[in-house]
Amino acid sequence: MSMFAATALNRKNATKQAWISRAFGAMTISLVIPVVLVMGTLIHRGAPSLSWAFLTEDPTGGMTAGGIFPALFGTVCIVIVALLASVPVGVAAAIYLSEYAPDNVFTRIINLAIINLAGVPSIVHALFGVGAFVLFMDFGTSILAASLTLAVMTLPVVIVSTRESLVAVPQAYRDACLSMGATKWQTIWRVVLPNAISGILTGIILEVSRTAGETAPIMFTGAAFFLPFLPQSVYDQTMAMSLHLFVVATQVPNVPESLPYGVALILVGMVLVMNSVSIGFRVYLRGKRKW
């Protein structure tokens, strides 16, 4: 018998290996099934209601007909204001935590607080938003209040992803840079941040998706049930896609079947477009740095 001939043990291991590979593969494919079903259903049932007018016109007939433009516009506004509020704060906090903060009890408490903030249910954030922004800071139910509520809710995502990508930049770069007489900020600005930018953008992408899709936090803070005109400032209420979907799907009688699916399809498509823009920007930055 050749020394390379398969023993019984070899054969058993090979069989096991083959089965594990098949089983894990099957689980991976099962992941795709819900995505395909959701997207397939949305496209199949929502497509009939799609048209250019659907995107650009106001809802009519008690929201049973017409378009979704005010909701689309409102969601874009809410997302932009939320990003303007949360990205600077989140990125600055992450830079502080990763580059400046001493490793002590206080820092650990802050880190713990951030993780816990991520675990707070969105309805609790909604009520916090009502208390803090709508009533206490007297913004009323407005885009500003809704966006700030969402910003608070998504801050942990930005902070954690930014911090992780900063930590992933090799310490050797920092040491080399500092030993050349660069200040800490020069090191961060010229070496650390450029190398962490794609991770930071990933965090922001996640934030955009969540901000656009959340319903509960904006329901009581700034999103209107029906508002057939556009907001004039951040102190106005606005319609929003997520709430509009909830409304046409459950609150309004005699809605044509394809309408809620159309709204859902646009909402998903919108998030995909925003993500694609961020991903494109990331690829562009990476290509520019050849890194």
What residue ranges bind another protein (CB under 8 A)?
A: 102-103, 172-173, 175-183, 186, 190-191, 194-195, 289-291
- Measure CA of the first residue to CA of the last residue in the chain; give whole Å: 53
Q: Can you tell me the distance from the alpha carbon of 56 to that of 14, in angstroms, rounded to the nearest whole number?
A: 60
Q: Can you tell me the distance from the alpha carbon of 234 to that of 145, in angstroms, rounded to the nearest whole number?
A: 9
The residue behind tokens 């520019």 is: 288
Please name the amino acid found at residue 48.
P
Q: Can you tell me the distance from the alpha carbon of 186 to that of 193, in angstroms, rounded to the nearest whole number?
A: 10
Q: Are 226 and 162 in contact (CB under 8 A)?
A: no
Q: Can you tell me the distance from the alpha carbon of 100 to that of 118, in angstroms, rounded to the nearest whole number?
A: 23
Smallest separation, CB 188 to another protein (Å): 12
- With left for phi above 0 and alpha for psi between -120 and 50, is residue 231 left, alpha or beta? beta
Q: Can you tell me the distance from the alpha carbon of 194 to that of 106, in angstroms, rounded to the nearest whole number?
A: 28
**Residues ≥6 apart with Cβ < 8 Å to 61:** none
- Cβ-based nearer residue to another protein, 87 or 191: 191
Q: Can you tell me the distance from the alpha carbon of 98 to that of 200, in angstroms, rounded to the nearest whole number?
A: 13
**Of the candidates 123, 106, 104, 286, which has an alpha carbon nearest to the alpha carbon of residue 199?**
286
Please name the helix (run of DSSP H) or strand (run of DSSP E) that holds residue 246, with its range, or none: helix 241-250
Please name the helix (run of DSSP H) or strand (run of DSSP E) that holds residue 118, with its range, or none: helix 105-119
